[in-house]
Amino acid sequence: MSGGPYQAKAPAKVNLGLFVGPPRADGRHELVTVMQPITVADRLYARTRPQAGEDLVAVVGATVEGEELTAKAIAALRRALPEPQPALEVVVEKEIPLAGGLAGGSADAGAALRLAGRLWGVGAAGPLLAVAAQLGADVPAQVEPRRYLATGAGERLEPLPPPAGECALLLCAAPFGLSTAAVYREADRLGLPRPAEELEGLRCRLRQALGSGEPLPPAELLVNDLEPAAFSLCPELAELKQLLVEVGPQRALLSGSGPTLLALFAGAGAAWRAARAAQRLGRSGRFARLWVAGFAPPDLAEPRPCSQPPWQNGGQRDEQA
């Protein structure tokens, strides 16, 4: 067990296909989706506190409303362990937009569990995954970020081969927020959830389509069932998606529950085509922010020692990770 300091990246997540089934007894919905981490990422720093006391979590770069999921994850893991553990000091540097459908809070919770596990000597993933499942549908996939075929409410994870070939994403942040809970309520009101037996067929098709490392599913599986609900709540989103379609990606779709939109480019010159599309969309002035990103490599989120954590260098990043 080491007192740190350590740092870890917390990659955002996109859904390469999101199919929604009926609500469960716990209020969540059955899902079938491919969860893919990307290179847009928050960064977390952690160490054990020199003096005894409570855990401290500071968020830099954004104001988080309500309970901060990083602190909730650390507290939940502490309760789940049989022995008392030292207090932690954690700094979260935000890059993932809040309430954007990119699982930024879940990514931070997953990174916090990885870092706390390293600092507290938790050698197995099982306890971390058990805690993650209590925190939200997207959190289990963020404990060990990689491409997963996810079912249940997102807690049942089947690893898929890492994507091969060139692929780039253009992320387009809408100039407004959108509540995940409100989008799911609207999906229920519109009668969008699919029957359970249909979800099983889609799961099998996605597994087959991506079983050899293909970068993207076929177009008929790159569907987000929540789009009609999000567009019903925010008609402007449908207009913004049409702007993406016009710049020529392989596919444009809503990310998660939104309001961030994705344009996906695959094949030779994918990053260059995504960058050109970003220039064209930037001239429209309709988006709050545009990023070109890629799929995250498997080791992106691994905790690493850091020599200049933010509580020692005035908040400057240590770029060794």
Which positions are catalytic? 13, 138
Give the dihedral sign, CA 262/263/267/273: negative
> Token pair of 15, please?
């859904």
> Token pair of 55, please?
């855990």
Angle ∠(281,35,142) on CA atoms, nearest 5: 110
Q: What DSSP element (H or E) covers 254?
A: strand 251-254
Phi, psi for residue 238 in degrees, rounded to 5: -65, -40
What size, in residues, is the chain? 321
* Residue closest to 319 by CA, chosen among 296, 309, 311, 79: 309
Give the count of beta carbons closer than 10 Å to the beta carbon of residue 3.
Answer: 13
Give the count of beta carbons closer than 10 Å to the beta carbon of residue 86.
Answer: 16
> Token pair of 307, please?
């020599």
Beta-carbon contacts of 91 under 8 Å, excluding residues fewer than 6 positions away, are 44, 45, 46, 57, 58, 60, 309, 310, 311
Bridge partner list, 31: 20
CB distance 4 to 119 below 8 Å: yes
Gap between the Cα atoms of 217 and 202, Å rounded: 12
Give the dihedral sign, CA 55/61/65/70: negative
Gap between the Cα atoms of 142 and 210, Å rounded: 20
Residue tagged 């089934």 (tokens) = 21
Bridge partner list, 60: 93
